[in-house]
Structure 1
């Protein structure tokens, strides 16, 4: 990537983001504004998409300020350890290119973000780049097959074994060993098992989250009614925009939430009849994405049932 004319780049649009064949895109630059580096998630059937572009554009409208955006994807689905066209052939090379890009943009602060495979990259590069903060949805904490088997973590063993057979020139296979510095980690994860027949008591993402939290300067956001796809859960429950506004721009906006449905009203009534604690019922409704006001109202009127 050519760094020198970065401040002259035109703004991105949906068409460019969705049709580009590149691995990295840079939006119009405004020096002194926040920079978000967004890493795309895995896709086995098609080329991975760029991620979070639409959400960041919406956040610009909400906050009234420009957000510098660098969109990155790993077309080889190698957890950002192999070639990222335009940036580098391995993590150290890619990190060096991103450092040069950050220097050219001259942002007020740097935030990395991603989900799943992109979350691993957000943590890895966030720490390597000494970013101000990392927002990671459901990240792995390691890419080591032997360690994965100890934890019954078999979801992406093939990727781990491929990297071990043919390692890149540099690699980071246990994120918990990376120097933390002053980077603030925000780890968001589901705790509900993804499979109905799962033998694990919680989603394995919870284990990875706690490994990353062990070194400090980390905030955990567990979602008990989500599996691995925690971003989709937050979208479905209409909480994603308020969350990103707070973590990226420091802006507090009201969560959209959902109105309590008749089915849930019946659930509230039944639990109250059985002696359920009203405060706990409100909290459970909120975890499912219902607004606080509608949750409290449903519980206050006994679920609307007689």
Structure 2
């Protein structure tokens, strides 16, 4: 007989990195927050579990235990086909996750993911009636007809495969799924870049289109990042803002800024843009978007103006 969830040992980095399973459950503390984290796509190797390290950091910053369920889609089918240990299609997987939630008995449930994992975070967040969803760069649909209409060709092969061989249950339009739900929707946060991805063929960032489609569901907060492309989580890591963002949204916890000090190259950029007539306030906001602290951004612009 497998051990009860409340008897499971704590996960560690080695277990998370080397596991061959599609779902892992961390040490359970009933009554505490539960975060279900969904992994992103990987074509070259099996997808990794995602957000484990960030959630451990959030535990340290908050002083609170976080129950964790880590899920990945080894088939890269946007969580519509087999998830070993959970189900063969979304409704079956949702039923298994619902049973885990009942056994864990958390105080609150949050789903989180990026890209493919963001689609899952939204889909299962809606199906499970969780309290909060964090979706980084999600698609809003998997319908190939809509994809062609919006010139969304990035994962068209996956969409066509699902349409040609549909699973026993499926949700190819998250906006429609959200609008069909009865009762209150989760508190949904859509975090996305608005800069066209380098090397792409589009003059706009398609993630922004998906974000605004999702906002039509209601109860969505949009978090646009103008200097990020699709990989908005990496942008937030590079600019040292990911930990503060997670703490603020998930825990309502304010953390001190981690941003960098303004470098010599950026001082030259500030001086040149002031010479060209850019408003100081605009330059401060641009610096902050690139990960510099508010205080150091204000000081650098003030120094350039003196």
- Range class of TM-score, shorter chain: over 0.9
| 1:224-266 Cα shifts (integer Å, max 9, x gaps) | 0000000000000000000011111111102201111111110
Say yes or no: does 1:186 pair with 2:185.
no
Q: Which residue pairs with 1:257 in the alignment? A: 259
Q: Which residue pairs with 1:280 in the alignment? A: 282
Hey, what's the Cα distance between the residues in 2 that align with 1:127 and 1:117?
A: 16
Say yes or no: does 1:244 pair with 2:256.
no
Q: Give the alignment's Cα RMSD to 1 decimal.
A: 1.4
Which shows bigger deviation, 221-230 or 190-199? 190-199
Q: 1:109: how far off? A: 0.5
Which secondary structure state, in structure 2, belongs to the residue aligned with residue 189 of structure 1?
Answer: strand
Name stretches of at least 5 consecutive residues in structure 1 with no aligned partner. none
Q: 1:129-278 to 2 correspondence within 5 Å?
A: 129-179=128-178, 181-196=184-199, 198-200=201-203, 202-278=204-280
| 1:21-42 Cα shifts (integer Å, max 9, x gaps) | 0000000000010000000000
Hey, what's the Cα distance between the residues in 2 that align with 1:197 and 1:228?
A: 11
Hey, what's the Cα distance between the residues in 1 that align with 2:292 and 2:200?
A: 27
Give the TM-score, by structure 1 length.
Answer: 0.96
Q: Which residue pairs with 2:75 in the alignment? A: 76
Say yes or no: does 1:45 pair with 2:47.
no
C-alpha contact 1:268 1:303 (8 A) present in aligned 2: no
Give the TM-score, by structure 2 length.
Answer: 0.96
Q: 1:199: how far off? A: 3.5
Q: 1:267: how far off? A: 0.7
Name stretches of at least 5 consecutive residues in structure 2 with no aligned partner. none
Hey, what's the Cα distance between the residues in 1 that align with 2:285 and 2:17?
A: 38
